[in-house]
Amino acid sequence: MSSILHRVLTWSVVLGLFLPVVIVLVLSLAGLLAGMGDPAGSKFCLRAAMGLGVGWASAIVMTAVVAGVSILERPESTISESPEIDSERDA
């Protein structure tokens, strides 16, 4: 189960980082097509950018959910052995 969560978390972070770049490129292409007098192509690119925006928002939500699940899935022994918690106990 941990391997699946790790893969999903990796892909959601990658999508969360790269989709905004793709969205900007598609929006730029839409503006270029509109400037060249191709309203159908521009409209298609705008709709594709909206779809990519939905995918980006989904990737951000998925990253948060999977990160939370992976933290909750860790055994209690690994959480109590982490150095951050030990340094807080000593203080």
- Predicted TM-score (pTM) of the model is 0.74
Contacts of 19 (CB under 8 A, 6+ apart): 52, 55, 56, 59
Dist. CA 91–CA 46, nearest whole Å: 55
Tell me: pLDDT of 40 over 70: yes
Determine contact, residues 33/45, Cβ cutoff 8 Å: yes
Average pLDDT, the chain: 88
Higher pLDDT, 37 or 3: 37
pLDDT at 13: 94
Stretch 50-55: mean pLDDT, rounded?
A: 97
